[in-house]
Amino acid sequence: MIDTMGAFGKTPIYNRLKGWKFVGYTKGYTHYHFSANGLYEKIVEVVENSPYSDILHSYKYGQGANWKMRVVKKGLEILGLPSRKLLNIGFSRGYYIYPLAANWKEFLRMETDSIKPFDLPFSDLVNHWWERWLSKRL
């Protein structure tokens, strides 16, 4: 499974690409606006000097959702600021997936241990790319 998000809401770019499926919208939360001007580093200092500093070492897969988001959220909470309000940027992004197997739903629901990849010969993929994209640009 390949997944991605559109920059602003539902984007026509992924709607036109064969195989991409629109899943829904994000809720509009991000930490990106705390990464500018050294603000993120200051938030890390706040967390480092708190009883919650162990969150700075829980960045490995399986230890929770987006690590940077958790650090910023905790730092804002320590400072007594409304983290949910400050992490919400006010617009949703379109979420898209591109399945790579015929039984992708069953596999993700753990109903099967094996996947059935789509049988797309490499030469067919190259020919499609050539006809759809490259030949029009030469």
pTM of the model: 0.60
- Residue whose tokens read 């600021």: 81
**Ramachandran category for residue 28: left, alpha or beta (phi over 0 → left; psi -120 to 50 → alpha):** left
- Give 43-91 pLDDT, tens digit per residue: 999 999 999 998 888 877 777 778 888 899 999 999 999 998 988 888 8
Q: What average pLDDT does the segment 104-116 reach?
A: 94
pLDDT band at 16 (very low <50, low <70, confident <90, very high): confident
List, in order, residues 6 or more apart from 88 with CB less than 8 Å away. Answer: 27, 28, 29
**Backbone phi and psi for residue 135, each to the nearest 5 degrees, phi listed first:** -60, -30
